[in-house]
Amino acid sequence: MLPEATRYLKATVSLFSPNVFLNASKLSAHGAPSSLQTRRNLRVSHCFAARVPPQKKPREKVEIPGLEMVTYGDRMHYVPGLAKPVYPPWEMSFKDPRYYRSPPAQEMALYKDKPCYVFNQRTSILEGVRQAAWLTKTHVRPGLLPHLVSLAAKPENQLPDQDERVQNAIKHSRFWDTTEPRPRKEKYSNTLLLNLLHLCATLQPTHPAVGRRILAENYSLAATWKRGEDLFQIRGRNGLLHCSMDPLPRICGEQEVLETSDQVLESFYPVSPTIDLQQVSEGEYPYPHAHTLYFLETSDPNCQLRPEQFRAKMIMFTFGNALARAHKLYGPQSLLERPITVQAVGTNGRIFQFLVFQLNTTDLSGDDGIKNQAWLDEDVELYDFAKVRPFIKRKEVPAGLAGYKPETFSKFLALYLHGAA
């Protein structure tokens, strides 16, 4: 150990040199040149040390092809007036995994010249729902289909004491779940969603199909499709995915599916539909069918999504799930015999967005033909206020839960029971 230590110290010591300007300006942590470091003269006081003028850029070397440079390489020592010899970079003769540098992107095996536009869970696209509809070749309709909503109106599909239990769930998530005065938004929205899911799952004795489902957290999604000449990809880890063993039944009849081919997708000139997408150059599970996706608002300060962008993200991820399922079931053919339906619910703790997406075709290259369909119910409030303190700046505001709307939970329940009831 000792000789090694002395060797190491000798190496450090040989850097000792009095009165030397250490030109450390070419070093950084990664061994790459950086101009963050500068020259220091440590033998004088700070005031004089700072008086060095800023470093000038070195003279640009001009390469004249065909002109042979006379270098001092042959003479093995520096000669003023001759050029500095340039040697080819040294490569190790054997492969050592500790010192492997990956080739630039152009020389990698999977490189493709065409750019691929990637949508991930933090993407916030400029035009919101319209851009998502164009990218997925979807016709978006406001409001949910009435036969879905009437599912929850039937008495056998309702919970005993439904309103009271939902209000208890809201109060639990908003008031009782913490030792601090108020729970934070990410916490209460998460608790509220899990409570509501639990309430819906208590219907399992009467609806046995509910038991053939499972919740998956933090799943990763990857789906690719071609639109026009560009490749698009969705990748990401999302919120909650509710998967089931049986697929969801189709929402919309054949006739209406054919009618969508007459509708035109909205365009938003001059903004290209690929704006805000990241440009990149190019497993058996017993519950295979994606049933519902649950989206929560993230607390990440870098990606605050406005409501429009949040709905766009819901559409894109629902589409991604449906597309992945379609590729798995039907392979590369374009028209699906049975359309794939996926649902999504997004919430910020108080306001809910419901989405039902039906994938009719995977032929997304052109703008005409059969389109996919989506029904989007925007900004449905579950309750108006859930205030902790009764007085806010001398104005009397009722503490506790106020303005509870039972229809929202019945929609939630309807989406949950769809396919099981």
Partner 1 sequence: MALSCLTRALRSLTLSQPALLSSQTPVVQLKLGTLVPSTVSQCRGFLTTASLKHNRAYLKQLDKYTIRPIGIKKSGGRDHTGKIRTRGIGGGHKQKHRWVDFQRLRYEPNKEGQPFEEKVVEVRYDPCRSADIALLAGGNRKRWIVATEKMQAGDIIKTSGVIGRMAVSANEGDAYPLGALPVGTLVNNLEIQPGRGSKYIRAAGTSGVLLRKVNGTAIVQLPSKQQVQVLETCIVTVGRVSNIDHNKRIIGKAGRNRWLGIRPSSGLWKRKGGWAGRKIKPLPPMKNYVNLPSISAN
Span interacting with partner 1, options 265-273, 288-296, 333-341, 374-382, rule CB under 8 A:
265-273
Q: Does 24 bind partner 1 (CB under 8 A)?
A: yes
- What is the contact mask toward partner 1 in residues 28 to 57, using x (rule: CB under 8 A)? xx-x---xxxx-x-xx---x--xx-xx---
For residue 38, the minimal CB distance to partner 1 (Å) is 4
**CA 51 – CA 48 distance, rounded (Å):** 5
For residue 386, the minimal CB distance to partner 1 (Å) is 32
Q: For partner 1, which is the closer residue by CB, 9 or 105?
A: 9
- For residue 407, what are the contacts with CB-CB under 8 A and spacing of at least 6? 380
Give the total of residues touching partner 1 (CB under 8 A): 47
Strands 351-361 and 372-381: antiparallel
Q: Does 17 bind partner 1 (CB under 8 A)?
A: yes
Under 8 Å between Cβ of 401 and 170: yes
Q: For partner 1, which is the closer residue by CB, 156 or 229?
A: 229
Of the candidates 78, 90, 100, 269, which one interacts with partner 1 according to CB under 8 A? 269
Entry field: residues in the chain: 421
Positive/negative CA dihedral, 62, 68, 74, 77: negative
Where residue 184 falls (left for φ over 0; alpha for ψ -120 to 50; beta otherwise) is: beta
Alpha carbon 106 to its chain's center = 26
Q: Does 270 bind partner 1 (CB under 8 A)?
A: yes
Of the candidates 272, 281, 299, 333, which one interacts with partner 1 according to CB under 8 A? 272
Alpha carbon 204 to its chain's center = 33
- Find the DSSP H helices in 109-181: 129-136, 146-153, 162-171
Under 8 Å between Cβ of 140 and 305: no
Of residues 257, 32, 304, 305, the one with CA closest to residue 139: 257
Q: Does 22 bind partner 1 (CB under 8 A)?
A: yes
Q: Which two tokens stand for residue 56?
A: 């000038």
Q: Does 16 bind partner 1 (CB under 8 A)?
A: yes
Q: For partner 1, which is the closer residue by CB, 14 or 102?
A: 14
For residue 35, the minimal CB distance to partner 1 (Å) is 7
Of residues 108, 107, 101, 104, the one with CA closest to residue 31: 101
Specify which residues 381 forms β-bridges with: 351
Q: Does 202 bind partner 1 (CB under 8 A)?
A: no
Q: Does 27 bind partner 1 (CB under 8 A)?
A: yes
Q: For partner 1, which is the closer residue by CB, 272 or 299?
A: 272
Span interacting with partner 1, options 148-156, 193-201, 209-217, 266-274, rule CB under 8 A:
266-274
Q: Does 304 bind partner 1 (CB under 8 A)?
A: no
Q: For partner 1, which is the closer residue by CB, 125 or 193?
A: 125
Q: Does 78 bind partner 1 (CB under 8 A)?
A: no
Helix 129-136 and helix 307-330, axial crossing angle in degrees, nearest 10: 10
ω into 247 cis (within 30 of 0)? no
- What is the contact mask toward partner 1 in residues 87 to 106, using x (rule: CB under 8 A)? ------------x-------
Strands 385-387 and 372-381: unpaired
For residue 115, the minimal CB distance to partner 1 (Å) is 9
111-140: contacts with partner 1 (CB under 8 A): 126
Q: Does 110 bind partner 1 (CB under 8 A)?
A: no
The phi and psi torsions of 224 (rounded to 5 degrees) equal -125, 140
Q: Does 5 bind partner 1 (CB under 8 A)?
A: yes
Q: Which chain residues interact with partner 1 by CB under 8 A?
A: 2, 5-6, 9-24, 26-29, 31, 35-38, 40, 42-43, 47, 50-51, 53-54, 99, 126, 268-272, 274-276, 279
